[in-house]
Structure 1
Amino acid sequence: MKKLPRILMVNDYPLDKYYNNWKNGLTPSQQLWGKVELDNLNVFEVTILPHEKYKFLNKIGNVFHIQHLDQQIRVLFKLKEIDIIYAPFAAATTKLLLILKLLGIINKPIVAMIHYPLLGSNSKNKIIKYFGRHLVKGFNRLVFISHKIKSENVKAFSPSNDADNKRFVHLNWGAESLFYQGNDLIPIAEKENYAVSVGQTDRDFDTLIEAFKSIDFNLKIYSRPGYVPKVENITDNVQIYTSGVTYKELLEIYKNSRMILICFKMTQQSTLGVTSLLDALAMGKPVVITENDYIDIDVEKERIGFIVPEDDVNAWVIKVKYLLKNPETCLEFGENALKLQKEKYNMEIFGEHLNSVFEELYLNKKF
């Protein structure tokens, strides 16, 4: 049997745990960034590096601003066994590896998913920008799920030739269709008696709570543990859950909601909100979302929902009330969302295109 080229995955959250959860039907494959789909295509052998083994190494790494030092050192002992390193969240898991590549100590190719501006890309410090530009050269392929983040990084690092431009790749991320199968039914709008908002990173639930003082409809918020609203006199139509729910439980919550509300504060340039948006597409739900130019999906252009400015309570009131008064629009938006997920934003397509990135890199390897 022909031996497949080997990919080793490193990440800033425990992919090994997520993979076990996926195998048990508890979480969708988009949280694994192509591992499942690459396995199905059987072109590469994909292994996940156990997330953490020597905690003391991470403590040492943090002193030197090198996150996940433990993982990166363990990668070094596997270099002879693998062909490509794949880092879905590269900024946190590859700094040491990039430094070693810059010094010529290792030469193993690295494929990185980029979710934020790269080191030094928006810095005015010439030394930091110089250092960042040279570190970035250690990535053999940089994969972006945002056209805007890609274009800004290309511009910042000024690729000087076609080979450099080829290193910057855009892919459409999506939801795992099979995971949501059977849950993407669109109930009759009149029977859905709440809107739902879910999330942890930089969520702005306070704006929603304030908005629903003027909206005669129920709102369910599922936040991170420890979240305490700053809003006083919260109305009875708002329920806040901080104990956490499983992804499977979340699907049932989504299914029985009228709409999905994605409200956040842009603390950095990122695709903040996209995970919840992909859930909305896969569940066939209309959305109202805070404006974020770094998300590729234009919900208004695609007719799946509305975009509101950050911190604008009145805008939330207007858009949510419009959807409540127009159930036929909710239904139309939901159907459009589901269609868009099936045709464009799903893990099957993402996996095929990601596999092509690895194939092109491996077949044309110069390492």
Structure 2
Amino acid sequence: MKILCLFDYASADRSWERWQNKLERESPEHHLWGITHLHKYGIYVDVLPYEKLSLIKRIGEKLKIGDLDQQLRVIFLAHNYDLIYSTCQTSTLLLALLRIIGIFRTPLVVKLERPFNKNKLNQILVKLFAQAHDKILCLSSKTENRLKNDFGVDKNKLALLDWGPDLPSYDDYEFPRYDIGDRKVFVSAGNESRDYNTLVQAFNEVDSPLKIYCAKKSAPTVNLITPNITIQYSQRETLALAWKAISWQELLSEYAKAYAITIPLYIPPHRINTTPLYGVTSLLDAMAMGKPVIMTKHRQANIDVEKEKIGLWVEPGDVKGWKQAVNYLLEHPEEAQEMGNRGRILAEQKYNLEIFGSQLARALKTSAIAVEGKLNFGLKN
């Protein structure tokens, strides 16, 4: 079986090339959404280059029909593949339309990271979305259940995948070990929908260091920032992933020395039940590194940090709640360490790239079988 994979960010091209050539990683391999493991299941992958004609790409953005540059190239290449796998739910809207009217015949599978609000317009749009795709890959049980219960999507169209870290991406490096006698440093990193203002206000009243790594546009803007807080950001924001203040390997070293990882998210009230999976990448980092987490409560995340006893939730925008959570971990170092240990065990047992890759392979193969009527793809039990 041969598939064509589409990404919505340019750095995927470089990551895929580095993985193929067995070069040192610049990011963890789970950022390639499972394609690194598909060869184990007889699925061979080509990655469509992110950009060929930037003008066509901008036209697609203006028309709100997804990545037109990629989609036009897919139309001419699709006959070479058993299936198209899109890692972004909005990149292939034109192909989806052509799939509905029967012009585009190649099976189309899409990854979906967030649920939809139930309203009349979405009832129509989700019905068309489901009709256009042969399989919808859900990264959250809440997303899967709402598609079934609120929108009546056929359960056979859906697959729940447990996204998790590629543990060798972390274990192949040697990091300084944290000494519980050292001053307890909290680390926070990321750019998308981060609420660093709330986090900084909490740490203004906490006697413990906080290190923030972000982009200039997401850096905290509060007037008072106490000396225990350091903020590092990149000025470059024109290229994909250029926001990163430090390299991924450097960030892992900071995580290794951290007492805990904080993930403050900006979640406005109207997005409480439809927030994309912001912050989950940082959560996976924490689990892989065996660190406890404090995270803004994310109702779409498939990993409940409090239920799994790997960290603490804080309600959106709750300065007092952040202060209490930080102080709790500071006052209970043994429990904090156990949270980190449980996170790592959870990653080893359930949430990891090996399991995600096997789930993805099954979903892709069953999609192709359903469309083409092929019965001999060697599915494993």
* Cα distance, 1:42 vs structure 2: 4.9
Question: In structure 2, what is the equivalent of residue 32 of structure 1?
Answer: 32
Distance in 2 (CA, whole Å) between partners of 1:6 and 1:260 is 39
Could you tell me which residue of structure 2 aligns to residue 315 of structure 1? 321
Q: Which one of the candidate residues 96, 99, 109 is aligned to 2:97? A: 99
What pairs with 1:230-269 in structure 2 (closer than 5 Å)?
A: 230-243=221-234, 244-267=245-268, 268=271, 269=274
- Alpha-carbon contact 2:265-2:296 (below 8 Å) kept: yes
Contact 1:186 1:285 in 2 (8 A): no
Q: Find the counterpart in structure 1 of residue 367 from structure 2.
A: 361
Between the two proteins, the alignment pairs up a number of residues equal to: 353
Contact 1:183 1:255 survives alignment (8 Å):
no
Aligned pair 1:147/2:141, yes or no? yes
Where does structure 2 lack aligned partners over 5 or more consecutive residues? Answer: 235-244, 374-381
Q: Partner of 1:113: helix, strand, or coil?
A: strand
Is the CA contact (8 Å cut-off) linking 2:107 and 2:368 kept in structure 1?
A: no
- Could you give the per-residue CA deviations for residues 110-154 of structure 1, whole angstroms, max 9, x where no partner exists? 111101235xx53433xx632441232111111111111111122
Quote the residue 1:111 is aligned against: 109
Q: Take 2:177 and 2:14, find their aligned partners in 1: how far apart are those partners?
A: 32
Q: Report if aligned partners of 1:226, 1:242 keep a CA contact under 8 Å in 2.
A: no
Q: What's 1:194 paired with?
A: 185
Indicate the residue corresponding to 2:240 in structure 1.
Answer: none
| Matches for 1:146-165 after TM superposition, within 5 Å | 146-159=140-153, 164-165=154-155
- TM-score (normalizing by structure 1): 0.91
Amino acid at match of 1:233: L
In 2, Cα distance between equivalents of 1:171 and 1:42: 16
Is the 8 Å Cα contact of residues 102 and 135 (structure 1) preserved in structure 2? no
Distance 1:278 1:192 in 2: 24
Change (3 A) 1:276 1:200: same
Work out whether residues 57 and 67 of structure 2, in 8 Å CA contact, stay in contact via their aligned partners in 1. Answer: yes
Deviation string 1:62-83 (CA, Å, 9 cap, x unpaired) is 2311231000000001011111
Aligned-pair CA distance for 1:192 = 5.1
Deviations, residues 75-111 of structure 1 (Å, cap 9, x unaligned): 00101111100011122x1100011111211121011
SS in 1 for 2:52: coil
User: Which residue is equivalent to 1:69?
Assistant: 68
Name the CA distance, whole Å, in 2 between partners of 1:61 and 1:190.
55
Partner amino acid, structure 2, of 1:258 = Y
**Structure 1 Cα separation of the partners of residues 66 and 150 of structure 2:** 24
Instruction: Name the SS of the counterpart of 1:75 in structure 2.
Output: helix
Gaps of 5+ in 1: none
The aligned counterpart of 2:238 is none
Distance 1:340 1:81 in 2: 39
The answer as to whether partners of 2:175 and 2:253 remain within 8 angstroms in 1 is no
What does the per-residue CA deviation read over 1:284-312, in whole Å, with 9 as the maximum and x for residues that have no partner? 00011111110111111211111111111
Contact 1:259 1:286 survives alignment (8 Å): yes
User: 1:185: how far off?
Assistant: 7.5
Partners of 2:174 and 2:365 lie apart in 1 by 34
d(CA) in 2 for partners of 1:55, 1:212? 43
Q: Secondary structure at the match of 2:136?
A: strand
Query: What's the % identity of the aligned pairs?
Result: 33
Offset of 1:230 from its aligned partner? Answer: 2.2
Distance 1:73 1:213 in 2: 52
CA shift in 2, pair 1:339/1:192, >3 Å: farther
2-structure distance, mates of 1:155, 1:183: 47
Is 1:135 paired with 2:129? yes
Question: Is the Cα contact below 8 Å between 2:266 and 2:316 reproduced in 1?
Answer: yes
Residue 257 of structure 1 aligns with an amino acid whose one-letter code is: A
What is the SS of the residue equivalent to 2:110? strand
Partner of 1:166: 156
Answer yes or no: is the 8 Å Cα contact 1:192–1:256 preserved in 2.
Answer: no
Q: Which amino acid is 2:210 matched to?
A: L
Amino acid at match of 2:209: N
Q: CA deviation at 1:183?
A: 4.9
Rounded to whole Å, the distance in 2 between the matches of 1:312 and 1:175 is: 29
